[in-house]
Structure formats: C-alpha cells, structure tokens
Amino acid sequence: MPKYTALLRGRALATSHRAGIAGVAALGAAALAISAAPSSAQSTPSHEAAASAAPVKYSTQRIEGVKVQVTDQMAGQQLKAEAIAAKKQAADDAAAKKREAAEGGGKAAHKAQEKKAATEAGKSRGGDRSASRSAHRPAAPAHKSYANNLDGWIRESLDIMDKHDIPGSYSGLHRNIMRESSGNPHAINDWDINAINGIPSKGLLQVIPPTFKTYHVPGTSWNIYDPVANITAACNYAAHRYGSMDNVDSAY
C-alpha cells in the first residue's frame, strides 16, 4: 500500500512543517518582547516622565476680577481724555468770547464816536440855521408896558387902533375925553335923553351900551368901564360916523 503511506507521510510532513513555523514565530515574538522591555535603571525616569506628561487640567470657573479691572482702567482713561477735551473746548470758547467782546467793544466805541460826531454836526447845523434865521428875522418887539393912568390908556388905545386901522390922534382923544368925563373911567350920565331911555352913557368917552357892543374892538375887554376898551370902541364908532374922533368937538 505505498500510495497511502506516501500520503500519510505527506500529511505528517505538513503537520510538522506547520509546527516548525509556529515555533519560529513564537521565538521571534519572545525576542521582540525581550528587546522592547526596559532595563531596571530606566524604570524610574519613565514613571516621572509619564507623571509630568499627565494631561493639564483647566478650570471652568469664570474669572471676573481681571475683566472688571481692565474695564475700569479703560473707563478711567476715557474719562481723562474727555476731561482734557472739555477743558480745551472751554478754553477755546473763552478765547472766542474774549475776541467777540473786544470786537464788540470796538464796534460800540466806533458807533458811539459816529453818533457823537453826528450829534455835534446836527447841533452845528442847527446853530447855523438858528443864527441864519436870527440874522434874517427882525427882532420881536419887546412887550410894551403902559402906565395905569389917562396917558397910558390913550397910548395903549392908539396902538390897538393902529393894528385895526382905526384913525385918531393923541390930542383928539385927549380933548374929547376931558370934555365927556374929565378923565374919570367910571363916569356915568344919568340925566340926558339916553339916561331917560334907560341906556345911560358910560366911561371915558360916554358910550352907551348898544354902541359899545356894536363897535367893540377884538382884543379888548367887554367891560364898558374898562378905559382902553371904552376909548377904542368910541373911536371905532366915531371913525364910521365922522371919519375920526379928531373930527368930534361936541356931543356925538
């Protein structure tokens, strides 16, 4: 039975061959293990390295103090910068106001000078005009005064008559006054026809009330016994009837 024997041998060889390979592999693994194992001298440092190489632990707690300090520092710097800027702005504003005040004072002084010059010029022109008017305008007559007597009454009456174009002279008035009343402004005739008719003659030139009222001269008194009013009214009547008191030599 040679075939079967050969076959068995072949199988036995294959088995032994696998066993050899396994042994060789086992020896190789052992050799690698021996070469990789550390020596006793290097065992301690390896543990220290392992310990030093341990993972770092990080805290998850929030750190607030550092952030607040940084924020406060930034706020302080900001406030300091703002204070510096505000101080500079205030200085600039003060300088601008000072310039405006100086300019305004200069303008005010200039305007005041112009106003003063204009006022003086106006006064000068007004003085020149006043002087010119005074030079060309006749001086107003001074108020004339009259004596409170027959002479004064006649002279005042003549001036009023002259303004109203009533003729008459001093001598003509004086003559008729002395004949009619003897120079008494309160004289009254209570016996002639006029008195009988209830309208007696009165005053220096013995004028009856209706005649006095009709020929009264404006600017004189309405009192028939007033000397000036009585003379001017009587002269006005005589001028209309006789042409002038100078033409009267008797009762009129």
Other Cβ atoms closer than 10 A to 183: 16
Could you tell me the pLDDT band of residue 3, with boundaries at 50, 70 and 90?
A: very low
Q: Which residues of 8-37 are buried (b: 16+ CB within 10 A; e: fewer)?
A: eeeeeeeeeeeeeeeeeeeeeeeeeeeeee
* Cα 136 from chain centroid (whole Å): 45
Name the residue range of residue 95's domain. Answer: 85-121
- For 39, the 3-state DSSP assignment is coil
Rounded Cα distance, 126 and 133, in Å: 10
Is 158 in the same domain as 232?
yes
252: in domain: no
Is 154 in the same domain as 243?
yes
Q: How many domains does the structure of the chain reveal?
A: 2
Rounded Cα distance, 63 and 67, in Å: 7
183: in domain: yes
Is 170 in the same domain as 222?
yes
| pLDDT tens, residue by residue, 66-94 | 455 556 666 667 777 777 888 888 888 88
| pLDDT tens, residue by residue, 210-241 | 999 999 999 999 999 999 999 999 999 999 99
In the chain, what are the helix, strand and coil shares in percent, each to the nearest 5?
Answer: 70, 0, 30
pTM, whole model, 2 decimals?
Answer: 0.46
198: in domain: yes
43: in domain: no
Q: Are the C-beta atoms of 180 and 248 separated by less than 8 Å? A: no
